[in-house]
Amino acid sequence: MGEMGPFLHASAISFICCGVWGIGTGIGLLRARRWARISMLAFSCLLATFGTLCVATFVFMPNGDVSSWSLVLLKWFSFLFALIPTGLGALCVIYFTRSNVKAYFEATRKIPAAFV
């Protein structure tokens, strides 16, 4: 793997941690846990922030001596593709800060008699 080995190993560890965070949050959302809503807000803010950084990178990227339309189209396609996580993060932040969603996750749930 050469020079990329340590980077790939560190990336694998971070992807595994993010996956465990996502699975735990998903289970918490299904069970309507209060901490899961806060976890989704944190994840959504991170997603919107990194998406905004990607969008800003493509906006301020110089064209250089590019005369080929294919490279210009690739730049704009990448810009539009970077808008997807930004929009999803922003929509999740808006959704999970609504008052009715807060009330749903703050409601106390009774355990069914069959599980007692």
The pLDDT tens digits of the residues spanning 24-60 come to 999 999 998 999 999 999 999 999 999 999 888 877 8
DSSP 3-state of 116: coil
Higher pLDDT, 42 or 106: 42
Burial class of residue 92, CB neighbours in 10 A (0-12, 13-18, 19+): middle
98: left (phi over 0), alpha (psi -120 to 50) or beta: beta
Domain span at residue 96?
2-115
pLDDT tens digits for 63-84? 666 667 777 788 788 888 989 9
This prediction's pTM: 0.74
116, pLDDT greater than 80: no
The number of distinct structural domains making up the chain is 1
Helix axes 69-96, 34-59, angle to 10 degrees: 160
Distance CA(42)–CA(47), nearest Å, equals 9
